[in-house]
Structure 1
Amino acid sequence: MEVRIGSGWSTVEDARVAAIEAGTDARQALDGCRPDLVVIFASGLHLEAAEATLEGVHEALAPRDLIGCGVGAVLAQGREFEDRSAVTVWAGSFPDAAIETFHLTLGDRDGQPGLDGLSPSAGHGPALLLPAPQHFPTELALDALAQAAPGRPVLGGVASALTRDGTPVLFRGADVLTGGAVGAILNGVEMLPCVSQGVAPIGPILEVTEADGRIIRTLDGVPALERLRAAIDGLSGSDRSLVSSGLLLGVAQEAAPLPEYLVQGLVGADPQAGTIAVGVAVEEGALVRLHARDAATAAHDLRERLALRREALDGDPAGALVFTCNGRGARFFGSADQDAGAVDEIFGGAPSAGFFAAGEIGPVAAVNLMHGFTATVAVFAA
């Protein structure tokens, strides 16, 4: 038997009816197979009526396992639903796979924060992770998943909406949860990660010569802020205009002639001390470089990386889950359906679903990281 994936969406206002409609559409591609895993994302009215949404999905699909979350906006099959209530349902049948879902909660380990809910016997397969948007240490979860299975890819996104009373919504099995993180270990499933940070490197490569955790004190032996200003002054006019819309710094994740960078905005700067602060711990000797982001660069980068994944599979995938930043979409690109449309076009209409996240999860240089303004895609081989 082969991998079968289906997806569906609905904007019908009645949450249960919408979930049944989306689930029924997703079921059409499964050729009568019961789904091993269903992933659902619900926004607006469907988030508010979370129990009814979940009931409708179970009625339509009777899945063996299910995860999902409440979000600000969803996407599916080349469409993005940013300004209306909608639900998307993604269903996969994976013969011979052993899928285990989990619910992580914050616990205590000898006075230090730890996580409860990840079984030692969960397996070493790739993982999906959907954290709640409040009070959950996503980095700690990524560390735990990496320690349990070094090198495994983890894809996902932070839930991007709350109910009207300020409650996050996560789905697992037949339960609606209000905190922590849900996810799935996909043993026996071939899932390829695609991470598009949508940026281009500009200016010189700089070496961190003194650092303390997330504080960079010197670059190339010069106070970091001074060296960064000099690098900006040396940019061309067009590159300098891109930097003016937001300063982005990439930290190399590997020692290579063309390293992959984890790109983030600067967290802060101290003009008196000449230091800058970034979002990740940086070691002395690390390489950093300025990066620029605009709509054209972001669109091109995603399409290029999707095409590489399709090439690696030697054809269209069975399906995909898409986690794109809630800062992208029509307001950033100037037109609707850019990210969802790229996935749909390049993957030949393969079933896809996803959401606009408050933080995107995916690997850079084989290290699973939390991103911003990124699109990460879990690509499932046929």
Structure 2
Amino acid sequence: DGGGGGTMTTIAVVRRGVVGGGKDMDDPRGGPSLSLLVGTLPPGGEVGTFRVGGGEEGSVVPSPSSEFWRSLGKSGASSDEDVEVNDEDEDEDDDRPPSFLLFADPWSPIDAVLERIDKSASSSTKGAIVAGGISCPVAEASTVAINGRTIPRGSVAGVRLGGSAGLQAVVAQGSRAVGPTYAVTGAQGNVLTELDGQPALERLREVVEGASEEDRELINSGGLLCGVFSAPENDADAENLDEETDFLVRQVMGLVPNAGGIVVGAAQLRPGDAFRFHVRDASAAKEDLGRMVQRAEAERLFVGSEGAGRPVAAVQVSCVAR
């Protein structure tokens, strides 16, 4: 709510698990659950919603040079039949980049949207803080709504915060590594075909055979994940990575037995990337989240209260891709 009788902006996301009030309602036998975060903007704060993709013609994403990306960072947002924008209380004199909460479903062009925000020809969204997650629908129905209106499947719904309102994001992977770190030596898009010169499936078998009984149970129960690290140029040697390396953790979407490959969710793999298998682990997730929150608190001390702002709310996004 913009305050002072202004327009209320709402966004709703349907998920399998609902977190709120210190409880995690992840058991479908407990019935439908609802978690709400309601508040008013601080003085000088801005909020708006927008949508990218979806609709009968497919998920259309504006080009990097499109006016749409400039409008997300500044006032005077435009819209067309593929993109809807609704920004309020813009301040042309505020050069600070905005923050975005993005929510999407598995059919949405979320990777393209993230790339556009990060690499847009306009500087208005560069440096923006982006957080959010991907919903887990049990059918092909829409799972996201903006201002009380359900948006089509395949859409990315966004909340834009600007002015004096913004985000500080932390990420806990919810997993721990198993087996050694490999170098990607063969890949086609998000299909991993070769690790250290051997078929990816063969490397997976080696990891499973050498894993502890606990880890084997996690893998067999669907807890296997993939960790990818795109090393900087001239520093792609996987052997230089250690246990503290922050891998980008993604789901295993499937196997390609004929090619000895593994399909990795929402990741474009390249030869030279570092790769390590992971398993879901609740204890590791809790420890990781605590460590990330402590790091965020330390960062605020160095920035100072004026630059960091005053925390007014916290949102936890619990999902398979964040």
TM-score by length of 1: 0.59
**1:136 corresponding residue in structure 2:** 108
Aligned-partner residue type, residue 120 of structure 1:
R
Q: Give the match for residue 262 of structure 1.
A: 248
Alpha carbons of structure 1 residues 294 and 93: separation in structure 2 relative to 1, 3 Å: same
Residue 320 (1) aligns with residue 314 (2):
yes
Aligned to 2:2: 36
How far apart are 1:168 and its partner, in Å?
4.4
Measure the CA separation in 1 of the matches of 2:179 and 2:317: 29
In 2, Cα distance between the equivalents of 1:190 and 1:301? Answer: 23
> Which residue, out of 71, 86, 89, partners 2:37?
89
Q: State how far apart, in whole Å, the 2-side matches of 1:221 and 1:95 are.
A: 58
Q: CA deviation at 1:319?
A: 1.4
* 2:261 matched residue in structure 1: 275
How far, CA to CA, are the matches of 2:219 and 2:268 in structure 1?
Answer: 23
5 Å matches for 1:180-259?
A: 180-188=155-163, 189-245=165-221, 246-255=223-232, 257=241, 258-259=244-245
**SS where residue 231 of structure 1 aligns?**
helix
Task: Sort the Cα spacing of 1:36 and 1:119 in 2 relative to 1 into closer, same or farther, 3 A.
Answer: farther
| 1:341-356 alignment runs, 5 A limit | none
Q: 1:170 aligns with which of 136, 145, 152?
A: 145
CA contact (8 A) 2:142 2:150 kept: no
Matching residue of 1:54: none
In the alignment, structure 2 segments of 5+ residues that lack a partner are: 74-96, 233-239
Residue 197 of structure 1: CA displacement?
1.5
1:328-372 deviation line (CA, Å, top 9, x unaligned): xxxxxxxxxxxxxxxxxxxxxxxxxxxxxxx5xxxxxxxxxxx1x
Maintained 8 Å contact 1:67/1:182 = no
User: How far apart are the structure 1 equivalents of 2:296 and 2:256?
Assistant: 42
8 A Cα contact 1:75 1:88, kept in partner:
no
**Separation in 2 of the partners of 1:169 and 1:276?**
30
Q: Bigger CA drift: 253-262 or 294-303?
A: 253-262
Q: Which runs of 5+ in 1 are unaligned?
A: 1-34, 38-60, 326-358, 360-370, 377-382
Give the Å deviation of 1:162: 9.2
Alignment partner, residue 76 of structure 1: 20
Which residue does 1:303 correspond to in 2? 290
Matched position secondary structure for 1:282: coil
Match of 1:150 among 108, 126, 145: 126
CA RMSD of aligned residues (A): 3.5
| Matched residue SS, 1:296 | helix
SS of structure 2 residue aligned to 1:298: helix
Q: Deviations over 1:289-329 (max 9, x none)?
A: 1112122222322233223323333498321122112xxxx
Q: In percent, how many aligned pairs have the same letter?
A: 28
Structure 2 distance, partners of 1:104, 1:320, is 25
Q: How many residue pairs end up in the alignment? A: 266
- Asked if structure 2 preserves the Cα contact closer than 8 Å seen for 1:225 and 1:275, the reply is yes
1:198 Cα offset (Å): 0.7
**CA–CA distance in structure 2, aligned partners of residues 62 and 87 of structure 1:** 24
Residues 1:239 and 1:213: Cα distance change in structure 2 (over 3 Å): same
Counterparts of 1:182 and 1:227 in 2: how far apart (Å)?
A: 38
Change (3 A) 1:120 1:261: same
TM-score (norm 2): 0.69
- What corresponds to 2:281 in structure 1? 294
- How far apart are 1:128 and its partner, in Å? 1.2
- Shift in Å at residue 288 of structure 1? 0.4
Q: Distance in 2 between matches of 1:273 and 1:76?
A: 44
Letter in 2 for 1:121: S
Give the distance between the partners of 1:112 and 1:70, measured in 2 at CA.
19
The answer (yes or no) to whether the contact 1:214–1:282 under 8 Å persists in 2 is yes
Q: Secondary structure at the match of 1:194?
A: coil
Aligned-partner residue type, residue 301 of structure 1: D
Contact kept, 8 Å, 1:251 with 1:287, in 2: the verdict is yes
Structure with greater proportional strand content? 1
Which amino acid letter does the alignment assign opposite residue 224 of structure 1? A
1:102 aligned onto 2:74: no
Contact 1:107 1:114 in 2 (8 A): no
